[in-house]
């Protein structure tokens, strides 16, 4: 896949990328000496297919799977910046000519998460790149690094992903003798926010982008997280695991057959008119009912945060309340992630006060303060994608309906804002896919494993616009994501919004071939 350039032509190409160095790197190891603008390469090491690349503390054991040149470097755009990045380059003859940037999750702070995806994508021929978002942290729910560090917050907000793209293209040009013919980006959760930040702020970086469950607008999402936390902290309002199971059973009993298939998954939860009051105890409390306080808190979670008599953020849809790791892990449990994420944001960024108490939170007052101070840096909810569209960019948005971290209705609202801004031909360059029964970015009772990158590639490289994606449910979805052995259980089409999958009425309901994409029935 190497292409010969004259020394002058290659030098000019590298100059555009902001680096000076040898005309082409003859070996992986020689990339160590490449000179990058505001950056340096720490190591460039060839990996054999059998070399272990398992991140610390992760199981099972993972190998590279294919020969790779693994480059590790540090970007220093400001004196306060330390953005660690990695670029994995498939071995000779194994590169498909394309770059794939991968997003991080939560607050970032390491490359462990992206590494799990990089190994699978280099096996498919992509040169891959990712960063730690510009800081080291003790897990992805840790924002202590942000205290008194405005440049690191900018690195996290948008600069790390942008500069990593430039460094990756430079390394690719040096190693292969030519830059990538196309560049894609894929991220979910904060990675989805990063993806949209690229489309909105740096449309020249990537030719096609997949944004899953985007954490946007960041300031509004964090405010919503704390509102939920405060709602559930009111006396008698907590929703223990047994009550979540009660609620989900009642929702499915009422709504599971609305889509024509009784499978424990709601195709479009918005069609479910479930009223929590139907479960209210006649008196006191019991295992088979909800107290008045619990009805109020559940109704609030479905409705979403409010203030001043208006909606401030979308709420959650019904049908996935008791999914393992879902509501209990994200919203209702004693150590729920939403409250922890938001407390970190307001404590270390918005108020910059280690002693800030989340019990003092007021969504109207403090949410406005967050937007003023950090919206321009973090939010990534601008619907104006004109520059991205003008250069031929393609965007795939996706979100799981059973997501307990970020409400799926939030991504629907963003896509609708893009349609309003970009006009009736929005689907020519941007499409949304909603995933029934998928939890946050992965897993859940519905088919949730699908090839977003492959769909991007077909759309941008071959002009094959995605009308439907085929999703698979495995006996171990995580193994399937990592390319490890897993048994398929069910397939289902994911339809381009606003269409939904509809069973033909015959054939197995576990086979996507027996479903078509159709307009949703009246909600």
Is 368 exposed, middle or buried (CB count within 10 Å of its CB: 0-12, 13-18, 19+)? middle
| Dihedral sign, Cα of residue 356, residue 361, residue 362, residue 368 | positive
162 a catalytic residue: no
- Report the length, in residues, of the chain: 523
Decide if 156 contacts 81 (C-beta within 8 A): no
3-state class (DSSP) for residue 408: helix
CB contact set of 477 (below 8 Å; sequence gap of 6+): 442, 443, 448, 449, 486
| Dihedral sign, Cα of residue 430, residue 203, residue 4, residue 92 | negative
440 a catalytic residue: yes
CB contact set of 161 (below 8 Å; sequence gap of 6+): 101, 103, 131, 133, 185, 194, 197, 198
Adjacent-strand bridge partners of 431: 396
Residue 106 to residue 338: CA distance in whole angstroms: 11
Q: What are phi and psi of 194, to 5 degrees?
A: -60, -40
**Which candidate in 379, 403, 457, 477 is catalytic?**
403
**Which candidate in 81, 131, 189, 237 is catalytic?**
189
Decide if 171 contacts 75 (C-beta within 8 A): no
Residue with tokens 């690094």: 145
Residue 482 to residue 477: CA distance in whole angstroms: 9
503: nearest Cα among 260, 265, 256: 260
Residue 188 to residue 87: CA distance in whole angstroms: 19
Residue 89 to residue 96: CA distance in whole angstroms: 10
Decide if 364 contacts 230 (C-beta within 8 A): no
Adjacent-strand bridge partners of 396: 210, 431
3-state class (DSSP) for residue 488: strand
Q: How big, in percent rounded to 5, are the helix, strand and coil portions of the chain?
A: 40, 20, 45
189 a catalytic residue: yes
DSSP state of 63: B
Kindly state the tokens that stand for 408: 């799926």
**Which candidate in 223, 440, 457, 477 is catalytic?**
440
Kindly state the tokens that stand for 336: 């729920």
Active site residues: 189, 403, 440
């Amino acid at each position: 896949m190497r292409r010969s350039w004259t020394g002058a032509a290659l030098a000019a190409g590298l100059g555009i990328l902001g680096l000076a160095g040898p005309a082409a790197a003859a070996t992986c190891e020689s990339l160590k000496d490449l000179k990058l603008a505001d950056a340096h390469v720490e190591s460039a090491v060839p990996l054999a297919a059998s070399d272990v690349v398992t991140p610390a503390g992760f199981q099972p054991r993972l190998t590279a799977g294919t020969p790779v040149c693994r480059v590790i470097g540090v970007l220093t755009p400001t004196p306060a910046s330390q953005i660690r990045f990695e670029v994995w380059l498939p071995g000779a003859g194994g590169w498909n000519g394309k770059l794939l940037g991968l997003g991080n999750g939560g607050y970032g702070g390491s490359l462990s998460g992206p590494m799990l995806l990089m190994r699978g994508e280099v096996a498919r021929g992509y040169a891959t790149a990712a960063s730690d978002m510009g800081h080291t942290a003790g897990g992805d729910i840790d924002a202590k690094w942000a205290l008194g560090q405005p440049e690191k917050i900018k690195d996290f907000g948008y600069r790390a992903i942008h500069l990593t793209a430039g460094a990756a293209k430079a390394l690719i040009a040096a190693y292969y003798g030519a830059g990538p013919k196309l560049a894609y980006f894929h991220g979910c959760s904060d990675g989805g926010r990063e993806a949209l930040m690229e489309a909105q702020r740096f449309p020249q970086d990537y030719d096609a982008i997949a944004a899953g469950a985007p954490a946007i607008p960041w300031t509004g999402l964090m405010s919503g997280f704390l509102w939920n936390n405060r709602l559930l902290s009111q006396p008698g309002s907590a929703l223990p695991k047994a009550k979540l199971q009660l609620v989900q059973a009642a929702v499915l009993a009422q709504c599971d057959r609305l889509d024509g298939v009784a499978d424990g998954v709601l195709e479009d939860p918005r069609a479910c008119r479930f009223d929590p009051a139907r479960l209210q105890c006649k008196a006191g409390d019991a295992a088979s009912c909800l107290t008045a306080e619990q009805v109020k808190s559940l109704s609030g979670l479905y409705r979403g945060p409010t203030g001043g008599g208006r909606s401030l953020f979308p709420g959650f849809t019904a049908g996935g309340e008791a999914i393992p790791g879902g509501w209990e892990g994200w919203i209702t449990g004693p150590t729920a992630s939403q409250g922890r994420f938001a407390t970190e944001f307001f404590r270390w960024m918005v108020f910059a006060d280690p002693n800030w108490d989340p019990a003092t939170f007021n969504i109207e007052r403090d949410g406005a303060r967050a937007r003023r101070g950090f919206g321009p840096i973090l939010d990534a909810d601008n619907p104006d994608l004109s520059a991205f569209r003008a250069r031929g960019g393609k965007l795939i948005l996706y979100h799981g309906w059973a997501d307990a971290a970020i409400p799926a209705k939030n991504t629907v609202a963003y896509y609708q804002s893009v349609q309003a801004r970009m006009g009736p031909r929005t689907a020519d360059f941007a499409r949304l896919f909603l995933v029934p029964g998928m939890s946050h970015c992965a897993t859940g009772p519905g088919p949730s494993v699908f090839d977003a990158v492959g769909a991007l590639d077909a759309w941008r490289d071959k002009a094959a616009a995605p009308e439907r994606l085929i999703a698979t449910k495995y006996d171990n979805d995580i193994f399937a994501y990592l390319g490890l052995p897993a048994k398929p259980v069910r397939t289902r089409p994911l339809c381009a919004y606003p269409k939904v999958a509809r069973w033909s009425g015959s054939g197995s309901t576990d086979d996507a071939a027996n479903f078509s994409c159709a307009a949703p029935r009246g909600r």
